[in-house]
Amino acid sequence: MGLNVIVMGPPGAGKGTQAVRLASERGLPKISTGDILREAIRETSAVALGAKARMERGELVDDAAMIAIVAERLAKPDAGNGFVLDGFPRTVAQAQALDELIEQRGSGPLIVLDVAVPEHELVRRLASRRICSVCGANADPSSSATVCQKCGGQLAQRTDDDQGVVLERLRVYQRSTRPVLEYYRGRSAFRVVNGAQSPDQVAADLNAMVDDAAAARR
The domain total for the chain is 1
Identify whether 37 is part of a domain: yes
Q: What is the pTM of this model?
A: 0.77
**pLDDT of amino acid 141:** 62
Residue 169 known to be catalytic: yes
CATH number of the domain to which 189 belongs: 3.40.50.300
- Distance between CA 151 and CA 185 in Å, rounded? 39
Identify whether 24 is part of a domain: yes
The one catalytic residue among 30, 52, 73, 169: 169
Identify whether 79 is part of a domain: yes
Strand-pair category, 110-116 with 130-132: unpaired
List the domain range (segments joined by +) for residue 189: 3-119+185-216
Identify whether 193 is part of a domain: yes
pLDDT for 81-126, tens place per residue? 999 999 899 889 999 999 999 998 877 789 999 999 998 888 887 8
How much is the CA Rg of the chain, to the nearest whole Å? 17
**Start-end of H helices in 75-162:** 92-105, 119-127
Residue 15 known to be catalytic: yes
Identify whether 146 is part of a domain: no
CB 144 within 8 A of CB 37: no
Residue 105 known to be catalytic: no
Identify whether 165 is part of a domain: no
